A = this chain, B = another copy of it.
Amino acid sequence: MSALHAELAWVGGAVRRDVRIDCQGERIASVRPDAAPAAHARRLTGLVVPGLANAHSHAFHRALRARTHQGAGDFWAWREAMYALADALDPERYRRLARAVYAEMAQAGITAVAEFHYVHHDPRGRAYADPNAMGEALVAAAAEAGVRLTLLDGCYLRGGFDEPRLEGPQRRFGDADVDAWAARAEALGERPGLRRGAAIHSVRAVPPQAQETVAAWAQARGLPLHVHVSEQPAENAACHAALGRTPTQVLAEAGALGPRTTAVHATHLTQGDLALLGGTTTAACLCPTTERELADGIGPASDLAAAGSPLCVGSDSHAVIDLLEEARAIELDERLATLARGHHAPEALLAAATTQGHTRLGWDVALEEGALADLIAIDLASPRTAGATAETAVAHAVFAATASDVTDVIVGGRPLVTEGRHRTLDVAGELAAAQAELRDATR
């Protein structure tokens, strides 16, 4: 039994003072506001909220940060750079890079991450001795960094609607067919700190019948299913040309939408798409800093929420790892698109970055009895947040704080980050070393 004592905590939708949180093993045994601190309690200042849930990650993209801005690089130029990087990965290099990236996430308050994983095989597309060697590298990386991992095994079978095969750098993404994908996905076993899930890379990369198989596989096992949906207009146009439908319609027909499904991006949607996503309570994972980075555009966040799609957020390409920035960007970018303020309450944005994300990753995280004891403290007395009061604590956390203001991270009742520092890993040092190693490998 361990005890935490929060100066302020976000409990049951409200900010409460002097909150005592008792933990039993990795779960919360009780949450008591207005409590006297236990003598042995770990004191947490600032605002305590559930750990942040990163609902969309491609860990290796971290090595592209600030490296694709020269000249007029469009999305496809960016993708070429990304493919060159993917080509340099092997299980050991990927483990070291991902460990550093997940540790950066931990320091930013992220306690669980959904890795949308599709770099499965060697650069020529041949299976490693363990066909899940790359997935196992990610599992090891997350365990070493101390964050929970939902490993979304990505099905990626073709280059495009008119490209039935995978060529060049895409070869390592694919399995022989969807049954080979399922056999490999099945072989990776769950363990503490790990949840499995499935991913359909996109309607471009997975034919409709294979989408059905992946969706059925996830549904039969009660596992999360994630899919990239309508990130860019070109993707919609190609889908319409090939199948006469929107990506959302195609996924709906494949039985891939539903309460365990998350549509990633969901940027360029029709009214019909919104009704399909909301009507099936498919979640929408917005990745606003990546959508800025890749010039994807501004998605219809309010319309999605109004239609019935829970929102969550992801740092995706890791141009930035700061889920507070992602959360406020939902509101701020919608202001830019509509020239009006006030679409999303700060509390709704915080829920998107925490509890709603965990649900879609398969983790039961909340500041309540019985839930996993994953929580963070956000400094309300930094230069950015100074001026916060209990009444504005959530708004200051969402609109003024940054990842730098996360002082404490607790996972399963145990401290992972204290005073803003990962307790076991030199985050910046590991990030620099892992990227240097990859640069050497691509030269």
Contacts and interface: CB of A to CB of B under 8 A. Distances in A.
A298 interface: yes
A176 interface: no
Contacts of A73: 341-342
A245 interface: no
Interface stretch (A122-130, A209-217, A254-262, A328-336): A328-336
Interface residues of A, number: 71
Interface string A55-86: 00000001101110111111101100000000
A381 interface: yes
B387 A70 contact: no
Contacts of A337: 336
A391 to B, nearest CB: 9
Most central of A100, A232, A386 by chain B CB within 10 Å? A386
A431 B104 contact: no
A66 to B, nearest CB: 4
Nearest to A298: B336
A315 interface: no
A295 B338 contact: yes
A182 interface: no
Interface stretch (A167-175, A352-360, A392-400): A392-400
Interface in A2-18: none
A341 B386 contact: no
A74 B341 contact: yes
Contacts of A282: none
Contact of A66 (B108, B291, B399, B402): B399
A415 interface: no
A306 to B, nearest CB: 14
A432 interface: yes
Interface string A109-123: 000000000000000
B65 A399 contact: yes
A345 interface: yes
Chain copies in complex: 2
Nearest to A386: B431
A296 interface: yes
A387 B63 CA distance: 7
B402 A70 contact: no
A111 B177 CA distance: 60
Contacts of A399: 65-66, 69, 319
A293 interface: yes
B69 A382 contact: no
Contacts of A62: 387
Contact of A69 (B71, B339, B346): B346
11 contacts: A62-B387, A65-B387, A66-B388, A69-B395, A71-B345, A292-B336, A294-B341, A381-B428, A383-B431, A384-B403, A386-B429
Interface of A: 62-63, 65-67, 69-75, 77-78, 100, 104, 107-108, 232-233, 291-298, 319-321, 331-333, 335-343, 345-346, 381-389, 392, 395-396, 398-400, 402-404, 427-429, 431-432, 435-436, 439
Given A73-B342, A104-B383, A321-B383, 6 more contacts: A65-B399, A72-B343, A292-B335, A319-B399, A386-B428, A404-B404
4 nearest A-B residue pairs (beta carbon): A72-B342, A386-B431, A295-B335, A292-B332
